[in-house]
Amino acid sequence: MKIIYEFLKQYNKEYDYYQKLSQMVADKIEDQLIKRGIKAEVTYRAKRPDKLKDKLVKRNIEKKYETLDDIYNDIVDLAGVRVSLYFPSERKIIDEIVNQLFPVELKKEFPESSFIPHNSKRFSGYWATHYRIALNKTKNTNKMHHPTVEIQVASVLMHAWSEVEHDMVYKPFTGNLSIGELAILDEINGLVLAGEIALDRLKILTNTRTSQHFSIDSIYELNNFIIKNIDLADLNKIRMGDTYLLFTFLKSVKKLDMKEFKSYIKRVNFDSEISLTEQMIQMLFVDYYGNVKSNLTKYFKNLNLPEAIIPGSELIVRYWVILEKAFTNFHKTTIAKAKKYSDPDFNILLKKDIITSEDVQLLGEIKQDRNLLIQGVKNIELDKLHSTSQILKGIVRKTIDHVPTETKKLELLKEFDLIRKITV
């Protein structure tokens, strides 16, 4: 027992740290949920010292703790986050978010094995996914170790039932439950599982209704519309990505009718490592920001990009659009309409002696900057924006000169001359 009290004494000093740690993880998850239009409640907590004491005393009977390390390695939920989904079928998107944000040390699915009903229990119990994420070493605690956070993902209904069941069965204050009480908990579990089925049916009906609209007015509707128009098998092969950026784009240009928007969904390459929303943004940028009249400034303002870097950001994005249009003429299956999306491979231009190997390397670096700008990242300095736009301008002009179709070349040159009027 001495080691337990020693641990609790130390944990009391670290409690605020674990509370802030769990809040940080929760905030990151909630931010991504909002960006993807996922409805959920995200809560967090550091394990209360009094509850931790009870748990340690019980586990010590089997574990027989000898060192503080023994306890740290055994109790992995000192910091915990709970994600309660409105719609259970969106657990896949949460899985994508968690794996994208954090190094996942362990993933556990419940129920852990196929359920075989017994007379005493008819339903399968707790349905959820738990993640153990390991963060970097920290000096915020008295002991150097890798702090872990447990993330629990389940439906709002399942979380409510599990709280009741856990407190009544595992923490009874008035003795063990009777057979009748256990049967009622089992019955409620059945109602919860039926409720989850109903929630998923509700989501399907909502998606159907949303798909009949002529416009999309919220991130949630956008997310539903995309999922509704993709086969489940394809959806399981690709990351959804950041729906917020796509929604911001749609708010910044004329509203697409649903038929036109569906045509972009059909062009998504589900075998690509590039996320679905990123592919759609790339295609839409090429089609809609190819001239000076397009409201690219509004897009960047909606991303809260600093005013000072917006003109330079516009130059890079517009020159890149022309580059992709020119590239299409050399490799028509890449960005042509009705074809699947493919990231431009500028080595094709190198093989045709249109650009140099140094140009290919520079385009790779510029592409990274361009993506950061499109995503609203604010750490690109003015001097770098200016030099980058000038380098890209030279490569674009050189590429246009080699466009084989004369009418297309003249069209791109006209567009190129219009963009040159924008100054950093």
Q: Which of 6-20, 49-63, 141-155, 228-242 has the lowest mean pLDDT?
A: 141-155
In this predicted structure, what is the pLDDT of residue 204? 80
Q: What is the mean pLDDT of residues 14-35?
A: 93
Residues 138, 260, single domain; the answer is no
- Owning domain of residue 83: 2-198
Residue scoring higher pLDDT (142 or 226) = 226
Residues 110, 173, single domain; the answer is yes
Domain membership flag for residue 214 = no
Residues 153, 301, single domain; the answer is no
pLDDT of 164-180, one tens digit each?
A: 988 888 766 667 888 88
- Reply yes or no on whether the pLDDT at 422 is more than 60: no
Q: Confidence band (pLDDT; 50, 70, 90) for 132?
A: very high
Residues 34, 180, single domain; the answer is yes
Residue scoring higher pLDDT (289 or 29) = 29
pLDDT of 253-301, one tens digit each?
A: 766 677 788 889 999 999 998 999 989 988 888 887 655 455 788 888 8
In this predicted structure, what is the pLDDT of residue 255? 64
Residues 141, 290, single domain; the answer is no
In this predicted structure, what is the pLDDT of residue 409? 93
Q: What is the mean pLDDT of residues 380-387?
A: 88
Domain membership flag for residue 212 = no
Q: Which of 243, 18, 16 is nearest to 147 (CA)?
A: 18
Q: Confidence band (pLDDT; 50, 70, 90) for 337?
A: very low
In this predicted structure, what is the pLDDT of residue 135? 82
Number of domains in the chain: 2
- Reply yes or no on whether the pLDDT at 143 is more than 50: no
Residues 243, 178, single domain; the answer is no
